[in-house]
Amino acid sequence: MNRKVVIVFILTLIALGFLTFYSFGPSSITRIGPQINPESLKPVKADATDLNNLSFGVYHNKDIAENFYAVRVPQSWQIQSTMSHPGGYDFVYNRGTATIELMDVPDNSTLELFVLSQEEPRLKSLLPDYKRIDYQKIKVNGYDAYQLSILSDANCIRNESIKTYIMGSDRTAVITYSLPQDMVASLQNTFNLVTNSFHWENI
Amino acid sequence: MRQIFLFISLAVLGFGLYLRLFYDVPDSQEKINFFVSWFLMIIALSSLLINLFWDTKKKRMDGE
């Protein structure tokens, strides 16, 4: 047999072995897929304050190419950097949490169809005593968005979650506020400010 | 026969490049996409090389 062919065959086997190790080996998680950009975790101080005199910081997220965005968040909200995921944030405040994440909507679906046919059933099966309070189509800085407000039970407390799905050119941004139902009214203005501050930076 | 082999190799290479560069990878499937796309490209490239070397040898033998 041709020696060069044998060499190519052996090199191919070595390359495939290396590829398998690189793709599924112990440290593959940190190499493949989106990574957290340290710059994304550093807020820039914003000038504006809200009705409650809260000062804000602007987070510029640059974790996932084609999906850069900026969002203004009260500085009193504590970022949970250990729980951070590429393209997203987890915050805690008073007795509630806020999550910002990027979600991939399949190309063969629309955002509204995805929210109603996949997201809502998933939440319904996940959360005890699920009840939809409101669902509406809104605009966030000119982007189409869908807002789903739901009630559920968590540790014997009636919790309200407000999820806003903001359409992007590649992925969808999801902003979720979860807190006891009786606190929603007092923080509604802050939530509106945070949600309406969201904008894509590469569109 | 050689042309068919060459065509299949190029098609596999093209599909690998498509998966790597243009395919909209769903969340959490980056790893499998990375593996499959590179797997196809490696197989296709080695097929092309094997095809090339086999051809060279054949020509040399014909010359002799």
pLDDT, averaged in runs of 10, over chain A (203 residues) = 84 92 77 70 68 78 86 88 77 90 86 92 92 93 93 86 92 93 88 92 72
SS3 label, residue B42: helix
Using CB atoms, pick whichever of B24, B46, B54 lies closest to residue A2.
Answer: B54
Give the range of the structural domain holding residue B28, as residue numbers without chain letter: 2-57
Q: B57 and chain A: CB distance < 8 Å anywhere?
A: yes
Rounded to 5°, angle at Cα A38 from A32 and A40: 100
> What integer pLDDT is reported at residue B29 of this predicted model?
79
DSSP 8-class letter at A13:
H
Please check whether residues A91 and A155 belong to one and the same domain.
yes
> What integer pLDDT is reported at residue A171 of this predicted model?
87
Model-level pTM greater than 0.90?
Answer: no
Residue B27 lies in a domain: yes
Calculate the CA B31 to chain-centre distance.
20
Number of domains in chain B: 1
Number of domains in chain A: 2
Averaged pLDDT for residues B28-33: 82
- Nearest of A59, A54, A53, A15 to residue A36 by alpha carbon: A59
The sheet carrying A44-49 orders its strands as A44-49, A55-61, A69-74, A199-200
Q: How far is A200 from chain B (nearest CA, A)?
A: 19
Give the range of the structural domain holding residue A75, as residue numbers without chain letter: 36-200
Indicate yes or no: CB of A12 within 8 angstroms of CB of B43: yes
* Category of A133 on φ-ψ map: left (φ > 0), alpha (ψ -120 to 50) or beta: alpha
Please check whether residues A61 and A44 belong to one and the same domain.
yes
Using CB atoms, pick whichever of B24, B42, B53 lies closest to residue A4.
Answer: B53
Q: B62 and chain A: CB distance < 8 Å anywhere?
A: no
A136 forms bridges with which residues in the sheet? Answer: A147
Split at pLDDT 50, 70, 90, the class of B38 is very high
Rounded to 5°, angle at Cα A106 from A91 and A193: 30
Residue B19 lies in a domain: yes
Please check whether residues A63 and A21 belong to one and the same domain.
no
